[in-house]
A and B are shown apart, each in its own frame.
Chain A
């Protein structure tokens, strides 16, 4: 991207508005998504966003208004109702959480679709555009919409930061939180309320169907990079904002492309990259660790063989042994390659021809390795 494009981007009112709105949505959903994920409630956001659809349709049916604030208020009310239904069903019946989520999601969303279809069949043209709430249309965002979103999202994040330690304890150990006298039920309801705010703030731009991806993906990606809560929240906000901007701008540049799917694709790229490349939890790091462990095992096997052979002689470092002998002792793998790698580390030395010998450093390493093993054995033997 050249500077000219960047300049054009910033001078374009629509793109600037779209990018700002998407960033606000992504950051808010990212932060709230962290708590949803840690409390194993990621799918509650999905139920909430789908449950918001009938609220949007009802507000339009009752008032005829398409003002963002009114529609968002309707979305918040039914989204919130959906969340209450889920927790209510779980608490008062034997239905499991996933069944309750599925039930609420499909019933509310089905109702919303019915209302929407009915609205669209009406003869007047004023209903046009309501279906953008299904898959999102960031290109339709106005400054006023972005201000509404920023107020909603900013408010939610502010409350979250204010009660940070309470929400952290609630998420980690709700029983202990209750013991300390925290009103666990009310905090739970408040946190769910913040989740609802984050979800409805993003509905116009991202849509009810895929809004939950904004909750799930940034948090999942952020968890890969850090082992602390606050950095995880900051990272999730950054990832969410990046995915939001990338998706929204892409959909605005290509005519009539819904934003929701574009945002989901952008978020997926971030998640996949994090899953593969993160330093500690990533797939590559895991493969690298496994490979090193196997190599260490193979090298130490040959080293210990050399050590045992040397121990049979008076002068341990002076007695070279043939590769064939070591190969007979080895469990597997290329003995010659292991010997070369041991020589690189200074633990073995080539004594000419097919003969190899252990060095003083190699003896030290073998003794240290055996001592470690003995200590491990003692620890494991302890009850």
Chain B
């Protein structure tokens, strides 16, 4: 299966030269079920890319595989032309909010300070400079007033902003965010959007797993449509088409059906992608 509407690569994907993120032939399997199959992704620097796809499409797994948090069965990943081991200072990560125990005995400031641990190196403790940097990052997401709060006493949106601040403290070239908009309030959504634009203005690259198709054109420059395989990736204007969305979501695209056609469209259960991969991860 060849990816449709794939953009002509701005650089050779094998060397990753000139690309912020270059993923080649990435395959991930949990036990013997493939979760990602032969995925390519090329992200030029300085843009905001959304990764969209149905539940179980492997969006979070794609991020984790790129970051080396789940083992890849095959494939290569280059960050600014370098393998992960040499690019660790250039990548930040905002995991899903549900991935940690928020009852952990620690404060918002403490969590953000964790973003300085890499530059501190082994054994050394965070000092005044690290705390000031962490506080400045909290300020940028409008959370400075909550610095000393125990993290379970924050709302979901505030917790999300704490995670964002932790990635900001790292001040990296490329940041990966896993569903930052999931279940947050309007204030937090605004704060995240402003932050994304600010990062782009400073030439940073952000790859965001996103679930709200409606806001993709507003918030992002590029989009990747993923359902175990890459369906398409490129500028939103070129790639974010109804045809590609049907290929990605199969018959489950309620958002388009409400807008266009109340009956299941041609991409319903007969769609080869949907039936094939629906079996792989129901």
The interface of chain A, by Cβ under 8 A from chain B, is 38, 162-166, 168-169, 171-173, 175-176, 178-182, 223, 226-229, 232, 379, 382-383
Q: Are B186 and A181 in contact (CB under 8 A)?
A: no
- B27 on interface, CB distance cutoff 8 Å: no
Closest residue on chain B to residue A162 by CB atoms: B123
Contacts A/B (CB < 8 Å), 9 sampled: A176-B93, A179-B67, A179-B68, A180-B88, A180-B117, A226-B105, A228-B106, A229-B104, A379-B185
Q: Which residues of B sit under 8 angstroms from A181, Cβ to Cβ?
A: 88, 118
Q: Is the CB of B106 within 8 A of A229?
A: yes
Q: Chain A's interface: helix, strand, loop or mixed, by majority?
A: helix
Stretch at the interface among B7-15, B94-102, B249-257: B94-102
Q: State the Cβ distance, B42 to closest chain A Cβ, in Å.
A: 22
A179-B93, A232-B105 given. 20 additional CB < 8 A pairs? A38-B104, A162-B123, A165-B117, A165-B125, A165-B126, A172-B100, A172-B101, A172-B104, A175-B69, A179-B67, A181-B88, A182-B117, A226-B105, A228-B105, A228-B110, A229-B104, A229-B105, A379-B185, A382-B186, A383-B189
Known: A179-B69, A228-B106. A383 touches B186 (CB 8 A): yes
B residues adjacent to A (C-beta < 8 A): 64, 67-69, 88, 91, 93, 95, 99-101, 104-107, 110-111, 114, 117-118, 120, 122-123, 125-126, 150, 166, 185-187, 189
Given A38-B104, A165-B117, A383-B186, decide whether A173 and B88 contact each other with a Cβ distance below 8 A. Answer: no
**Contact across chains for B114 and A227 when beta carbons are under 8 A apart:** no
* Distance, CA A227 to CA B93, complexed state (A): 25
A13 to B123, CA, bound (A): 40
Find the B residue at minimum CB distance from A222.
B105
Which 10 A-B pairs have CB atoms at the shortest separation, nearest pair first? A227-B150, A382-B186, A180-B118, A181-B88, A179-B93, A173-B100, A172-B104, A229-B105, A227-B105, A232-B105
Docked pose: A329 CA to B186 CA in angstroms = 37
B123 near A173 (CB under 8 angstroms)? no
Q: Known contacts being A179-B67, A180-B118, is A173 close to B185, with CB within 8 Å?
A: no
Residue numbers in A under 8 Å from B105 (CB-CB):
38, 223, 226-229, 232
Tell me, in angstroms, the Cα distance from A299 to B99 when the chains sit together.
42
Asked whether, in the complex, the Cβ of B118 is within 8 Å of the Cβ of A165, the reply is no
Q: In the complex, how many angstroms separate the beta carbon of A188 from the nearest chain B beta carbon?
A: 15
Residues on B with C-beta less than 8 A from A382 are 185-187
Contact flag A173-B114 (CB < 8 Å), given A163-B123, A178-B68, A179-B67 = yes
